[in-house]
Amino acid sequence: MVSSQSPTLAWLGPRMNKTAAAKEVGDGGDLTTIRLEPLKTIQLPEITSPSRSVRDSDNRPCYRDNIKVSTNGVHDIEDRILRITGYYGYYPGYSSHRREEGSESHAETPASEASGERPRCQSCASTTLKVLGGLLVVLFVSSSWVGTTQVVQLTFKSFSCPFFITWFSTNWNILFFPLYYSGHLVTTREKQTPIQKFRECSRLFGEEGLTLKLLLKRTAPFSILWTLTNYLYLLALRKLTATDVSALYCCHKAFVFLLSWIVLKDRFMGVRIVAAIMAITGIVMMAYADGFHGDSIIGVALAVGSASTSALYKVLFKMFLGSANLGEAAHFFSTLGFFNLIFISCVPLILYFTKVEHWGSLSTLPWGYLCGVAGLWLAFNILVNVGLVLTYPILISIGTLLSVPGNAAVDVLKHEVIFSVVRLTATCIICLGFLLLLLPEEWDSVTLRFLATFADKKGEEHGEELTESSVHTRSRSRANGTVSIPLA
């Protein structure tokens, strides 16, 4: 609390000369005036106070009492007095108390800026790590798919049974969930038993979990489409090169868009229609490359059929099951493998006894190649699903596209395949259409916004150049005694 006789007020109050004040009565006797003598210059003594005394930079005393702050943030006594008198070069909002607060605020400003920069640096670091991790995933995805395609062709030299290879490789999907659970145990503090984690991930099929009815209703169609996709892909590899088949398989992206537009009522995009037309053009050119003879036409049809069933699989998954996290995807793939082992194992036996696919005794099978194909296929599926969690989905699609030049390099260097101009053109058209399909839905507005920003910056730079030129022109014309204004 401020005392009634504040030290600050001691030097302010003017001394009224009591003897100088006199009453003068006028002629009328009704007018009374008071006359004050002018004050002389008063030397203010050194004032001491029980309150804290601090000297400022000019070695003048500053007194700081515990003064209350009003509701509007003004120090009642000191701020008002200093504002009136201009004492010690005072300007509003800068009293002794505010100097203390200002010093604290200035001291806290770098810390607040540093704390504001930390999340920014952390977000930049996380984005950089995400991009670098995505590039590694892209490399592994393309390498695993190229390796799968090339090892399949090597397997066909000694064991030409595509359905048995498909069935054997699909059985390896059972390992997806155990591998996911192993990663869960390593990376998570709160451990769950395998049964608890399995029940948690089975919510993809519904709140009741996975029942026998849902297993047959939801898993059977996807298992059939999965088997058809891989089987047709392997059949196409017996007719065409790995480069042609992988390029034609990239058309599944265009088919996914067309089916999503028709079935799921997704947004119509003109650029994706153009991409779909380019994919169809590439397919026709690929079929025309060898003059529409038997093996070429059949191989193209099988590859396009594989791309079509793959697109149907993805659209139906989105329609009935929606999106799935990594655990649910692992559960689903393991369920597919289990369904394949239980219900589709009869098909290879039927093909064996009808001699459509005859593989001899089990000891003569090329188990090394078979396990290599199955392992690479499983690695590809795991990398795709893990990559969707760790990085951007567009990078996974680019990894699939990069399998085309990867297979082309292997075909040229190892198998000495010579590509015709028509095949190369068709492959390039399909790949370009695939890239157009990767454009986001808001790509047109983003592009227009970028062009508008670029045009504004260019206009500002042009205006600055005009301003500088006009300044130079006026300075020259003033030197000549005339003033020239440049036309806009």
Range 344-358 average pLDDT? 92
What mean pLDDT, rounded, does the chain reach? 76
User: Predicted confidence band at 466 (pLDDT cuts at 50, 70, 90)?
Assistant: low
The DSSP H or E segment spanning 61 is strand 61-64
Specify the pLDDT at position 417.
86
Which pLDDT does position 80 carry in this prediction?
A: 58
DSSP 69: B
Strand segments, DSSP code E, in 105-225 are none
- Over residues 244-271, the mean pLDDT reads 89
Closest CA to 248 of 437, 438, 426, 432: 426
* 392 torsion bin: left (phi>0), alpha (psi -120 to 50), beta (else): beta
Alpha helices in 321-366, H assignment, sequence order: 326-343, 346-353
Q: What is the pLDDT confidence band of residue 469, given thresholds at 50, 70 and 90? A: low
Amino acid 77: pLDDT: 60
Contact (Cβ atoms closer than 8 angstroms) between residue 151 and residue 368: no
Percentage of residues in the chain having pLDDT higher than 90: 39
360-379: pLDDT as tens digits? 888 889 999 999 999 999 99
pLDDT of residue 78: 57
pTM of the complete model = 0.69
Render pLDDT for 239-254 as a digit per residue (tens, 0 to 9).
Answer: 999 999 999 999 999 9
Residue range 136-149: mean pLDDT, rounded? 93
DSSP 32: E
Cross-strand bridge partners of residue 33: 24
Rounded to an integer, the average pLDDT of 14-38 is: 42
Query: What pLDDT is recorded for position 270?
Result: 84
Burial class (CB in 10 A: 0-12, 13-18, 19+), 202: buried
Q: pLDDT tens-digit profile of 375-385?
A: 999 999 999 98
Max avg pLDDT among 104-113, 259-268, 442-451: 259-268
How far apart CA 360 and CA 164 sit, in angstroms, is 12
The closest of 185, 160, 189, 214 to 366, measured between CA atoms, is 160
* pLDDT-based confidence at residue 238 (cuts at 50, 70, 90): very high
Confidence of residue 461 (pLDDT cuts 50, 70, 90): low
% of the chain surpassing 70 pLDDT = 68
What's the rounded mean pLDDT across residues 434-448?
Answer: 80
Q: What confidence score (pLDDT) does residue 314 get?
A: 92
Q: What tens digit of pLDDT does each residue of 169-215 get?
A: 999 999 999 999 999 888 888 888 889 998 888 888 877 777 788 88
Least confident stretch, 78-82, 110-114, 164-168, 433-437: 110-114
Please give the average per-residue pLDDT across 412-423, as a whole number. 88
Q: Is the dihedral of CA 375, 381, 387, 392 positive or negative?
A: positive
Beta bridge partner(s), residue 23: 34
Do 331 and 177 contact (CB within 8 A), yes or no? yes
Least confident range from 92-106, 291-305, 338-352: namely 92-106
Between 470 and 122, the higher pLDDT residue: 122
Q: Which of 327, 384, 73, 96 is nearest to 194 (CA)?
A: 327
